[in-house]
Structure 1
Amino acid sequence: MSKLPNVTTSIFTVMSKMAAEYNAINLSQGFPNFPVDEKLTNIVKKIATENIHQYLPMTGYPPLLDKIAALTQKSYGRKITTETEILVTAGATQGIFTAIQAMVNSNDEVIILDPSYDCYVAPVLLCNATPIRVPLNDDYTINWKSVESACSNKTKMIIVNNPHNPTGSTLHQDDFNSLVKIMDALPDMILLSDEVYEYITFEQNHLSANSQHTLVNRAIVVSSFGKSLHITGWKIGYLIAPEHLMIEIKKVHQYLVFSVNSICQVAISHYLDVVSVENIRESYQQKRDLFRSLLQSSRFELLPCQGTYFQVASYAKISDQSDVEFCKQLVIKHGVAAIPISSFYENGKDLKLVRFCFAKDDETLIAAAEKLCQV
């Protein structure tokens, strides 16, 4: 009998496969198509001949841990202890899986805000726990009254994604204030804050759980070098958590992965000396603004994009089709692949919205926009 009977091929795989079959421009899956920074590839070339190809310490390459601590303090004013509060993971997804496996027990409940990325539910189910899906408002703000109503004495964790995939929305201080009130009433509740797009925000600086002094002792914060440094295939992320939570997380990590790719950790450690996270934000803001400007003459209605490298668009003025069918026809008839937002909801809620990834070179965005303006 399957432990995950309702898990099927992901919509990301389906749409990317269709894009390849029809030779369409793939704006569905969230990965950049432009070259990695030459500074980073030169670092890899230089260190490849060094003695860095064996196991590193379970928690991570010590100099990289120091760089993460320094980056966190600079970005959020949080001082963390490298030996006990940081764990390098084989991508953010592994970090999320490990944290849930370590902290959630059988018959616990975990609050997940819909629409939600697809890696949250499976590890909850594998714990024999119950995911409680709470829909966001239609403008993708959080309905904190609904969240509070969904909580109970069984609630062990709430998962928050900020900046939010797929919608590009971000949290504000009022959101954290509401979250604190709920967690104060449930002293055993833990926050899992998925912040993989933390350095890809635009008009507003990212507001991290790392900066919330009343939450940090009960929070596990997930970050991704893959997203921040445009190296998704390296699968390098990290967790920050207080020691009493990290002790339990490391117990799972040591048997799931033990230690993470050595050369990637060493290369990133060197690269953090020469890269600026401010430049990362600026480059993606240019791409967002270019893509939005190119679609101004289209029939798509663009929703606000405060962070991530995703643009959500309404096609309600174009078609009455379901968003899944619309995305399939968009590939077949117009040569552009997108992701239907209904796939991020437990109940398949269809608001006639699709998600485009703008982490592409300008030529790709221009070519895609020309096709989309003809829809």
Structure 2
Amino acid sequence: MTDFLSTGTLPDEYRDLALTVRDFAQKVVAPVSAKHDAEHSFPYEVVAGMAEMGLFGLPFPEEYGGMGGDYFALCLALEELGKVDQSVAITLEAGVSLGAMPVYRFGNEKQKLEWLPQLASGRALGAFGLTEPGAGSDAGGTRTTAVLDGGEWLINGSKQFITNSGTDITRLVTVTAVTGVSNGKKEISTILVPADTPGFVAEPAYNKVGWNASDTHPLSFTDVRVPEENLLGERGRGYANFLRILDEGRIAIAALSVGAAQGCVDESVRYAREREAFGQAIVRNQAIAFKIARMEARAHAARTAYYDAAALMLSGKPFKKQASIAKLVASEAAMDNARDATQIFGGYGFMNEYAVARHYRDSKILEIGEGTTEVQLLLIGRELGL
């Protein structure tokens, strides 16, 4: 198997970053992944290590406490982390693209100076409260309300499936809420809610199929009051703004998915060389070799797709279609590779202590979160004029 980074196609600074994160993933993340997965425990020590490396600040300017990098640098880090532990990777992805990025993209200077240094440092996590029981893919079905009352927003409602919303270091949740009605349509805005605000509760964590070391909670808001100045961006533009955040986030999820797909390849190559059956290593079996070759092809094609989408985004060109394509093919590659890797491992692939078993459980959500497969097909079709 050819190491993609060794081909020299990446500029040195990107390649060096990827190799540094790869080393961290192998030496720090991988040894504790099975433990945190089994215990459903949040890996605070791993997050602290990522914070020390500056990973949470990768795409933000130094003036806000960031590393002065870009979104592609974040994607490279997510790919390397995704190879060994999707829970750790999604903690970083959500902390940056959903927690901090809305403040960076749409916040005023006061909001940026107050929140970004905390979030970019990794010492604090932010979350984005969009999904509700009746408003997932149909985000326009939002029922959470925010009413101005005496210079404060009075917020009532609930959210579900919110990542990074209940950790000991969660400091901020940005909430979409109905703030009025305009031309017969709901006016949806986004509001910053500090995690210690009275009336805001992160309910007990979910018992999930995968991503067991990732923090995910339903949230409730009961007469939550925050200052009127906590409005993030223009009133009534909350839904539209978040669609931009989702477009970017799909590239990041694609990168994470590529990491998962490549991790399955790497584990399968290693196992097939070591495992013997009928007097020879199973890699000598052409059926096994072909299966792994197809897995590698999927990972490579998906990587090319997210590289393309990221390049368009960073150049300021339209990238919505390419982001959806990348998210679609990469999430399917992760799921297909996890299935094939589990088959190659046989009975061992069904044991949770093996990385491929965790990838098998973890990868399904990649076809659902930040826009389901069906939503991506819908978006791609729209971009084609269908």
TM-score by length of 1: 0.24
Between 1 and 2, higher relative CO (CA 8 Å, sep ≥ 6) is seen in 1
Which one has a larger percent helix, Structure 1 or Structure 2? 2
